[in-house]
Amino acid sequence: MDPAPRDEASGERRLDEVVAGVFRGPRSFTGEDTVEWSCHGGAVPARRVLDALIAAGARLAAPGEFSLRAFLHGRMDLAQAEAAADLVHAETESAGDLALAQLSGGLSRRVKALEERLLTCVAEVEARVDFAEDVGGIEVPPHIVHAISEVDLELNALLASATYGRALREGARVPLVGRPNVGKSSLFNALLGEDRAIVTPAPGTTRDRVSEAIELAGLRVTLSDTAGLRDTVDPIEAIGVNLAEKALDSGTVVMWVVDGSETLEAADRRIAERLRGRKVVAALNKADRGSRVAVAEMAAMVGGESPIVTVSAVRGEGLDALRSALAERLGARSAEADAPVTHPRHAEALDRAQAALRRAAKAAADNEPGEIVALELHEALAAIGEVTGKAAGEDLLDRIFSRFCVGK
C-alpha cells in the first residue's frame, strides 16, 4: 500500500508543498525568464522535487552556470561574477564587505575609468597618425604622455592593494622563523593569547609546525610556530627544520624572531640571507633581558622596508606594535582603497597593462612613430579588459566559472 498522500483533484502522488517564484528577464539574475522552487528543508523533499523536475526535462546546472549566464547577458561583468563566488566563501566580516563592494562594481568602475582615459589617448594618437599633415606631425604630444603617466600611477595604486586584497580574500600565512631558543613559541603563544606551543629553556623543543588562525585588521592570519632553523643530526628535529623551510617558502609574510638580548650569531645572518627578497617583519624578542642588538644593525640585514619591533613575549610588551607592523606589511593600509585588487588574475592582467603603458611612454619619449605608441596602448587596453571580461576568451571563462559552486 502506498502511504504517500494524493492530490484530491488529480489523484497523483503529492511530493511536497513548494513555493514557485517567477522572475522575468531581463531583470532576473541571469537576464532570462527564471523560476525558483522553494521546498521544505531536508534531503528527502529536495530530492523528490529535484527528481520530478529532471523527469520533466530539466537538467542539473554546471558549476557557476547561473553567474556565467548573467555575465553573458550583460547583467554583471567578470570581476562582479567572481565577487559573487568570493562572497559565498568569505570567512571574515571584512572579506564579506570587500566581496559586496566588488559585486556592486567598485573595482569595475575604477578599471572602466582607466579604459576610457586610455581610449581617448589611443584615439588622439591614431588620429595624428592618420592626419599627420593636418596636425603637423605624428609625434605624441606632451599632454598624452602626461595622461599615460597618470594612468600608470593609478595602476600602481591598484597593484599596491593586491597583497592586502588577496590576503583578505584567501587569508594569509605567517610563519615565525629564527634559530632555536629565540622565543618563537613564547611569542606565538603571546600573539594568540593562549598556550598552544610547548615552551622550555632547551633549544630545539619545537619539532613540528603548530598553526593557529587569528583575525588581524580584518584578515584571517594563520600563524605557524616552526622549528628553529639550524643544521642538526637529530632525524626528528631535521624533519621539523624541513617543515619550517617549507612554511617559510609559502608564507605571505615571514616573522623573523631574533633574541635581542644576545649579540647576533652567524646563524642569524644566514637566516637573514635566506629571507632576502621576502616580505619580513622582524621581532627583537626578550626585551625584558636587555638589548644587545641595534635596530640599525637589523635594518641593514633585512632591508629598510621591513619593520623591526622590540618585544617581550614574556611580559607582553610590544605585541600591539608587532600586530600593527604585521598588518601593515600585509597591506592593511590598502583597506581604505576603493575596491582593492583581490584576485591574482586581476593583478597579473593589470601588471601586464602597466608594462605596456611604460613601453608606450618610453616610445613616446624616444620620439618613435605614433603607430608604436598606439600599439602598446592597445596592448594595455586588452590586458585591462581581461579584468572585467571585455577581452576574455572562452578558455578563461571556463577556468573561472568551473571553480564556482553548483547553483551559483
CATH of residue 245: 3.40.50.300
Is there a domain that residue 359 lies in? yes
Residue 393 phi/psi, 5-degree rounding, is -90, 175
What are the residue ranges of helices labelled H in 330-393?
Answer: 344-365, 370-388
| CATH code where residue 381 lies | 1.20.120.430
Domains in the chain: how many in total? 3
- Structure confidence by residue, pLDDT tens digits, 220-268: 898 888 765 555 445 554 555 566 566 666 678 889 999 999 988 888 8
d(CA 378, CA 58) in angstroms, rounded, equals 44
Residues of 160-195 as b/e, b for ≥16 C-beta within 10 angstroms? Answer: bbbbbbbbbbbbbbbbbbbbbbbbbbbbbbbbbeee
pLDDT, mean over the chain: 83
User: Per 3-state DSSP, what percentage of the chain is helix, strand, and coil (rounded to 5)?
Assistant: 50, 10, 35
Same domain? For 315 and 181 the reply is yes
Looking at the chain, the whole-number percentage of residues with pLDDT higher than 70 is: 83
Distance between CA atoms of 255 and 242, rounded to whole angstroms?
Answer: 17
- Can you give the pLDDT at residue 207? 42
Domain that holds residue 90: 80-161+340-401
In a domain, 123, yes or no: yes
351 occurs within a structural domain: yes
The answer to whether position 325 is within a domain reads: yes
pLDDT of residue 193: 83
Shared domain for 191 and 124, answered yes or no, is no
Residue 257 falls inside a structural domain: yes
What pLDDT shows up at residue 376? Answer: 95
Condensed to tens digits (0 to 9), the pLDDT of residues 171-191 reads 888 989 888 888 888 999 999
Residue that the C-alpha cell 623573523 belongs to: 256
Answer whether 310's CB lies under 8 Å from 260's CB.
Answer: yes
Alpha carbons within 13 A on the beta-carbon side of 31:
12
- Can you give the pTM of this predicted structure? 0.69
Task: With a cut of 50, say whether residue 23 has pLDDT above it.
Answer: yes
Q: Are strands 210-216 and 219-225 parallel, antiparallel or unpaired?
A: antiparallel
The residue among 244 and 95 whose pLDDT is bigger is 95
Query: 127-153, pLDDT tens digit by residue?
Result: 888 776 555 556 788 899 999 999 999
Per the domain annotation, does 71 fall within a domain?
no
Q: Which three cell numbers stand for residue 124?
A: 588622439
C-beta of residue 256 within 8 angstroms of C-beta of residue 186: no
Q: Specify the pLDDT at position 267.
A: 84
CA 392 to chain centre: 20
Cell 640585514 belongs to which residue?
Answer: 301
* Residue 191 domain-assigned (yes or no): yes
Residue where one domain finishes, among candidates 60, 92, 113: 60
Same domain, 144 and 185: no
Neighbours of 260 (CB within 10 A): 28
Q: What is the pLDDT of residues 67-84, one digit of tens each?
A: 889 988 989 999 998 888
In the listed set 304, 335, 366, which residue is the last one of a domain according to the structure? 335
pLDDT above 90 covers a percentage of the chain that reads 34
| Amino acid 270: pLDDT | 85
What's residue 326's pLDDT?
Answer: 92
What length is written for the chain? 408
Both 350 and 371 in a single domain?
yes
Statement to judge: residues 205 and 287 lie in one domain: yes
